[in-house]
Structures are given as C-alpha cells and as structure tokens.
Amino acid sequence: MNLDSTGLIKPTDIVRGCPCYKEFGKTEKVCLNNDSVLPIRAILIDPTFFNSLQSKTNLEEFQSNSETLCYLVMFLDRDEGYCYCVSQNQRIRINNQDVKVSEIDSALQFVTSLEKSRDGVLCSDCLYKYIRTLGESSEGFLTDDERNEIIGSYVQKIANTMAMQLSGYVDREVSTGLDFSEYISVYTRELKRSRGHLTSMIRNLKKTDVDADLIQLIDAYSTLTRLESIFLFYVQTINDESTNLDPLETLQFMVNISEKVMSINDEIRDKTNNLIEKDAFPNNIQEMLTIHSQKRKTTEYRFSKLVSMLNEFDSHTK
C-alpha cells in the first residue's frame, strides 16, 4: 500500500481488486460489470507487469483475447476520471453508471483500513458494498434510512478498529487474557492516571516562573489524553447493544472528536517549536515528555486517517 506523509493512501493508477468481481462458493466466479452476470476465470498477475500502463490508450495492449478471463485489476484514468477493467478494456459500470476514480479513491481509504487483502488483492465485495452504499451508483438503490444504518455499522467498525490500534489491544490481547471491553477499561484507567500526573505537573509549574508556553504545552498533552479517553468510552458505548444511538449523531460525534484531536496536535507542535526556539524547554521536562510525544505522533497519524474516512461518510448524509 502506498502512503503519503500523512499516512493516507497515495493516488494510484493500478488497483488490484475490482468491485465487479464476485465469488460464489469456492469455484463459481462472476463479473458484474455493466450490471451483467458473466461467469469468468480469474488469474493473479504480478502488478509490475502493468508498469507501462500509463493511460487508457495503452489498455488495448493488455486486453485479454477471452471475454471470460479476469486479471482482477483496475486502471484509474485520472485525466478522464473513470475506472477501467484492464482485462476487457471496458469502463466499470455499476447500476447503469460509470464508476468514478473519486469513488474508488474514497473506497480505498475505507477498505484498506479495515479489511486485509488476500494475496495483495483488495476485498472486491467490500469495494462493491462501499460504492453501492456511498457512491453515485447508490442513488435509488438504498433508502436514506438504509444508507444511514449501513453508515452506522461502518462507523462502529472503524471506531473499534481505531480503539484496538490506539490501546495496543491487537498486540497485547493474548498476553493479558482480557476481552476487548475489559482491556479498554484497564487502558482507560491508565490514561486517567497519566492525565492526573500531567495535571499535578501543571500545578507545580504554576508555582515557578517557567515560560507560559510550557504550561500550555503540558495542558495540551493532558487534553489529548482526555480526548482519547472520551473516544474510547464512546466506543464502548456504541458496542453496548442496550444503547440506541442515532447513527448520524454517532458519526458527527466521532468527526468532532477527531477534529479536536487534530487541532490539539497542531497546538502541541507549535508550543514545542516555540519552546525550542526560545531555549525555554527544561531538559528534565523535555525528556519526560518524549514518551508522550512519541505516542502523540502515533495518535495523530491514526486520527488523520479516521477523520478523512469519517468526513467522507459525513458528506453522504447531508
């Protein structure tokens, strides 16, 4: 997966996977392009084979002689704005509409964050479901209530994945022996203790003549810890089947929290740079904040991906 400096997926022209590819059982494979149901034979080809495919004018060079052979590869024509099946040299169409590059780009942000690829091929069912739910081809396919319900399930899945990554649950599940809910509760208590330590530090520093930026920096770290705790608590809330949260309210809450986290990260970066430039950063405090700084960078990276996906969902609910 190609990532840019923010951790988001770089635009690419070749995608291994196709929303029109469908498997039934272990042997039956069909193509749904142009809203048809065509039995096909799928083969996997090393993506480097398509390195010379730079524009749709080159597609004919790679077109298969058989209309039932599928490479499971799409070409995204960023000049024209549409997606093409490489093996058949055809535009990809779903629900009688051409699939746009922008739709696939949005789907990639979602699918690659939540679904594991198989042999380097993206989950085709996931791409199809995303496009039929949030893409332009979803018009007339789902009611608003159905779309909102699916978006709610997406948000819950994204939030849980994010919580597992933030808390380190994936890496420590076996060693702790705790289930997800128990682990998050323990981790949240650790965050509370960390925030208490930062609050105590602020209280002591206010009794000295340290630079005001230093106090504001530590307070920003404390706020970041609080926001992470709120996020994790909310994840536990939406996982509780007894709660009946509105999917769109949940989405908006997640967007707001994510944007606040990004804003606090910007503030921390500015305050840190100011203190370094003024040579007003005590060594002992700078060393103490090193661990918090490393964690902050990881948190910022994860929330930058989260806010990108959530804003994409949010744009489809207005």
pLDDT band at residue 4, thresholds of 50, 70 and 90? very low
Spell out the residues 6+ positions from residue 107 whose beta carbon is closer than 8 angstroms to its own. 19, 126, 127, 130, 131, 134, 135
Does the pLDDT value for residue 8 go beyond 60? no
**The predicted structure's pLDDT at residue 7:** 36
**The predicted structure's pLDDT at residue 304:** 80
Does the pLDDT value for residue 9 go beyond 50? no
pLDDT digits (tens, 9 = 90+) for 229-240: 999 998 888 888
pLDDT digits (tens, 9 = 90+) for 187-199: 999 999 999 999 9
CA angle 215, 221, 222 (to 5 degrees): 90
**The predicted structure's pLDDT at residue 77:** 92
**0.85 exceeded by pTM:** no
Q: Are 258 and 299 in contact (CB under 8 A)?
A: no
Nearest to 167 by CA among 176, 307, 247: 176
